[in-house]
Amino acid sequence: MEIEFNEFGPEKILEVYDPKTKMHGFTIIFNTALGPGKGGIRMTSNVTKEEVFRLARAMAWKCALADLPFGGAKSGIVSSGKINQEDKDKIVEAFSKAIKPICPSLYVAAPDISMAEHEMEIFAKANGDIQSCTGKPSEMGGIPHELGSTGIGVYHSTIVAIKHLKLKVDKITVAIEGFGNVGTFAAEYLAKDKAKIVAVSDSKGCIYNAAGLNIPELFKVKQETGSVVNYKDGEVIENKKLFELDVDVLIPAAIPDVINQENKNKIKAKAIVSGSNIPMTPELETELHKKGILVVPDFVANAGGVISSYIEFIGGTPEDMFKMVEEKITKNTALVLERSKEKNISPRQAALEIAKERIRNKM
């Protein structure tokens, strides 16, 4: 896929190289009508400008829909495979210095693949501006994602979807793919509301119990043994079977493209709330919508992470973050589902319309 230019962007494509460290990277700023472009830095051996462009564009829609004063951007650093931490630090430092002229006026960085708090500390120090990135250690004013901003946002989005379908949270059944940072928090909060979570998977397999799983117990098992499959009160089933279960709500919260041509006709859920990025293609979302399955798109449901980044950017507290995640995700999910219903279009189409309107009005 090539980079496509349209009325929204991309505004800037910056490619940088440092002969000393052999750092080769790029930053793509898609649109800054609402504010500086926001988006993480991913460091992989096969990252391309086209991939970074697609992610930067997606960030523009996500920030606009979350109603944040951020535009969309993204960065990629081409890594030469396995490098030690010392060399990695030098590459991050070189990248930060190379893009210093655009941070944070046009671009605010964040961690993505192969990047974490430590790398953001290196980035901020090399850049010379604390606001040049988010995802920093808490002693530098960072708000750790371990507090669950994304998963809690997915929970709030799920509650709106349930009400939209005129279902009661204490009467629904839920299956969650992935029990990492997103899935655990979504599960914890739904369980507190007495939703019956019948299946949870991780990379080792899926645990299923039609009568419901004890989520605090499951979390303990996962922490102690490394996998949900060691939970005693349930049967272990294949991961792919999770998507075929007769549940009210399905939450994909780990890997991309888990809903695909192979299983699309086996889905029995009334609603799918996308906790992970790209759990299915936009075309599939439209197809499922036509079948009467409510699909809350990823950039609506999982915007908790970028809302948390905004709170860090303005120097807010974890309490501010929890409050804003609830307010914004609840309001924007409702807005999207109402427009989808009124115009009889898929929630993704409705969400893109709203995001583009917000950007256009500022332009």
Give Dmax over CA atoms of the chain in angstroms: 61
DSSP state of 133: B
* Residue 15: CA count within 13 A, CB half-sphere: 6
- Contact predicate 332/4, CB 8 Å: no
CATH 3.40.50.10860 in the chain, residue ranges: 12-62+71-139
Burial of 44 (0-12, 13-18, 19+ CB in 10 A): middle
pLDDT score, position 110: 96
pTM here? 0.93
Give the torsion sign (CA, 69, 72, 77, 82).
positive
Catalytic residue (one of 20, 49, 62, 74) = 74
Please give the average pLDDT of every successive group of 10 residues along the chain, which has 363 residues.
Answer: 93 98 97 98 93 93 96 95 91 98 97 93 97 95 88 98 98 97 96 98 97 98 96 96 98 94 97 94 95 97 95 95 98 98 96 97 96
pLDDT score, position 80: 81
CATH 3.40.50.720 in the chain, residue ranges: 149-362
Residue 204 annotated among the catalytic residues of the structure: no
pLDDT score, position 23: 97
User: 205-208 and 235-237 as β-strands: parallel, antiparallel, unpaired?
Assistant: antiparallel
Give the architecture-level CATH label for domain 12-62+71-139: 3-Layer(aba) Sandwich (3.40)
d(CA 38, CA 326): 21
pLDDT score, position 82: 80
Respond yes or no on whether the N-terminal peptide bond of residue 104 is cis (omega within 30° of 0): yes
* Residue 324: CA count within 13 A, CB half-sphere: 21
CATH of domain 149-362: 3.40.50.720
Phi-psi region of 148 (alpha: psi -120 to 50; beta: other; left: phi over 0): left
